[in-house]
Amino acid sequence: MLKATKLALAATGMILAAAPALAQTVPLIERAKLFGNPEKTGARLSPDGKWISFIAPRDGVLNVWVAPASDPAAAKPLTAEKTRPIRTSFWAPDSSQILYVNDKGGDENFRLYGVAVTGGEARDYTPFDKVRVEPMGVSPLIRDRILIGLNNRDPRWHDVHSLDLKTGKLTLVMQNDGYGAFMADDALNVRLASRPRADGGDDWFPVTANKVGTTPIVSYGLDDSLTTQPLGFTTDGKTLYWADSRDRDTGAIVAEDAAGKATVVAQDARVDLGGGLFNPKTGVIEAYEQEYLKSEYVPVGDAVKADLAFLKAQNKGEFTVTSRTDADDKWLIAFDAVNAPAATYVYDRRAKTLTLLYVSRPALVGAPLVPMHPMVIKSRDGLDLVSYLTLPKGADANGDGKADKPVPMVLFVHGGPWGRDGYGYNSYHQWMANRGYAVLSVNFRASTGFGKKFLAAGNMEWGKKMHDDLLDATAWAVQQGVTTKDKIAIMGGSYGGYATLAGVAFTPDAFACGVDIVGPSNLNTLLAAIPPYWEAGKQQMYRRMGNPTTPEGQAILKDRSPLFAADKITKPLLIGQGANDPRVNVRESDQIVDAMKAKNIPVTYVVFPDEGHGFARPVNNIAFNAVTENFLAGCLGGRAEPVGDALKASTAEVRHGAEFVKGLTPTPAQPATGE
């Protein structure tokens, strides 16, 4: 173990600084209130409207509950998961049971389960080891079965099966010999199949009587690959909706009729469209969702126009329609006020009334939560970077997002990188702001939702122009007086973890410290270890990152890999990793920790043996965040709730560098790094 002398700590910026006076009068929000189990979440109306399901703790673990829609207080638990939380569920079409998927220890080999609304043992519909289920088709017309994909024959490809929900019988519908996706109609007939192309795009073929045609009806290359895809058929099967960016920059919603005639339903020059509200009976689009700085529904026609206007007029924050009955008389609405915990209401369309169902985290009601400020930051080459800034309470007296004086800042980078940050309540933003930090999240180039040119601007730019966007955002924050150049930390998970490693390795003077959560350090080994069921997306990844099967690609990937610049790291680094991560193998963290240890560069490394790509169990998430906030306090000088016993309730293994975080102790008899 590296000896931590005062001189070494001073050289890496680890001497504790005084907490900013700004936050001293603001009550500290306990980590458990922010990152522990929600009281209730994920509510769904049964199709027949008689039941409401939701996910809530049972003996400390998230499980499925159900209640009569007429008496939500009479809820009862239906499942009894003891370790791995259930995080999502959906109703069987006949309203007789609730279906959900779960994995083991974060391995992402999801199985499909069903549990009757009347109770009883949960049924494992896909009892296969090292197999991942993918729901493919659920219909309001066919109540007794659904379509699912299973990769038990070939781990690369999911064969289409029909699942009888009463008997559990699986019937092979189509063997998959190289198709990345399928689209079925509401008669549960497979109508489309996509095959990945060598250029990173896709060809979509018609399917008739479970036979794939030989001539594609839609084809596109790499540029349109993340912005063009079918959305679904109307119930009568006569109209197919597409998100379509061909011949335009942003993805529009297009309706294609049986004759192949395409009509643009909606488009927005700023953002890609693809989500919205579709009538539960007819499948006809009634509103689309537009998200630039914030998200909102835009009605298509008059079917739900009055409903959306009514919900907006409630002034409870942004809202999302999360569930609708088949009769479409009741909706569930989630309201997000940003500086208050989310709340879910039952909306009666006929009576035009809202009835509170639950507040997801009632322990946060009245807590000193703060607003989020959306803004656009210009990159050095003129791109618009949609970004979100959160400031500590009292840091902007006018409430306009302009800091009264500089405070330490955390640059919080999203994963993907083909994803995006959005406006809304964010536990990490609230937590760090409460500790005295400004928090900035940036949609750097390659983020999704802003058109294919913005996406393509990130191709082959890992660690280069994508990183420049993050640097430009921090320069903006310094220029605006939000923070100072020497008080900026970088933090994120997955790609955000990579960005953290790239930040401290490639630009060692840009950040005061970094927190990497399941981030890759070596892009060649990352791509060599991706799961086999990512086969359909491999060429796209190669063309956006670098091709590891060619010498030129290997050289690019090595050049962009922080591992090979680990000796340049001079600032404190904290790494968190799930041992079972199928996306970013534990070796990615092991490698860079070993490289830093070999050079006597301080690094703190925490591994969770029962987690995968991120920390699903709240006790583990709380444990790592306990380490994180005390690490940041040592680096930036903010406040921190002591580590205390947070790690004892978790499976955390502190494999290296406990001495660099106040209150942290190494795990006894820890395994050697790399095992």
pLDDT digit string, tens, across residues 304-359:
999 999 999 999 999 999 999 999 999 999 999 999 999 999 999 999 999 999 99
Summarize the confidence of residues 34-54 as an average pLDDT.
98
- Give the model confidence (pLDDT) of 393-439 as tens digits: 989 878 888 888 999 999 999 999 999 999 999 999 999 999 999 99
Longest Cα–Cα distance of the chain, Å, equals 75
Token pair 């991706």 in the structure block, residue = 530
| Bridge-based pairing state of the strands 211-212 and 202-208 | antiparallel
Q: What is the pTM of this model?
A: 0.94
Would you say 95 and 46 are in contact if contact means Cβ atoms under 8 Å apart? Answer: yes
> How is residue 491 written in tokens?
């933090």
What value does the mean pLDDT of the chain take? 94
Residues near 8 by Cβ (< 8 Å), separated by ≥ 6? 602
Predicted local confidence at residue 355, as pLDDT: 97
Per residue in 212-241, is it b (16+ CB within 10 Å) or e — as a string?
Answer: beeebebbbebbbbbbbbbbbbbbebebbb
Q: Residues 373, 613, 650, 656: which is the catalytic one?
A: 613
Q: What is the pLDDT of residues 110-146, one digit of tens each?
A: 999 999 999 999 999 999 999 999 999 999 999 999 9
On whether the CB atoms of residues 358 and 38 are closer than 8 A, the answer is no
Each residue's pLDDT tens digit, 591-622: 999 999 999 999 999 999 999 999 999 999 99
Which entry of 96, 139, 494, 521 is annotated as an active-site residue?
Answer: 494
Burial category of 490 from C-beta neighbours within 10 Å (exposed 0-12, middle 13-18, buried 19 and up): buried
Among all chains, which residue has been given the structure tokens 């959560």? 517
CB-CB contact of 262 with 252 (8 Å): no
CA 504 remoteness from chain centre: 24
373 is catalytic: no
- C-beta neighbour count of 72 within 10 angstroms: 18
In the chain, % of residues over pLDDT 90: 93
CA pair distance 632, 640, nearest whole angstrom: 8
Pairwise CA distance, residues 315 & 392, whole Å? 24
Kindly tell me if the per-residue pLDDT of 4 is higher than 80: no
Catalytic, 613? Answer: yes
Residue located via tokens 């030989």: 214
Q: Residue 401 in contact with residue 423, Cβ under 8 Å?
A: no
3-state class of 133 per DSSP?
Answer: strand
Q: How far is CA 291 from CA 96, 277, 300, in A?
A: 35, 14, 16
In the chain, the percentage of residues whose pLDDT exceeds 70 is 95
Whether 245 has a pLDDT exceeding 80, the answer reads yes
d(CA 165, CA 99) in angstroms, rounded, equals 10
Q: Are 420 and 499 in contact (CB under 8 A)?
A: no
The average pLDDT across 444-461 equals 98
Q: Residue 122 CA to chain centroid, in angstroms?
A: 27
Give the model's pLDDT for residue 608.
98
Choosing from 581, 590, 594, 610, the catalytic residue is 581
Q: If DSSP codes are grouped into helix, strand and coil, which group holds residue 345? A: strand
Residue 80's pLDDT is: 96
For residues 178 and 161, what is the distance between their CA atoms, to the nearest angstrom? 16
Cα 73 to Cα 571: distance, rounded to the nearest angstrom: 52
Residue 95 CA to residue 541 CA, distance in Å, equals 40
R_g of the chain computed on alpha carbons: 25
Alpha-carbon gap, residue 176 to 168, rounded angstroms: 21
- Give the H/E segment covering residue 305: helix 305-313
Residue 426 · residue 369 · CB < 8 Å: no
* Residue 516 annotated as catalytic: no
Give the span between the Cα atoms of 131 and 532, in whole angstroms: 11
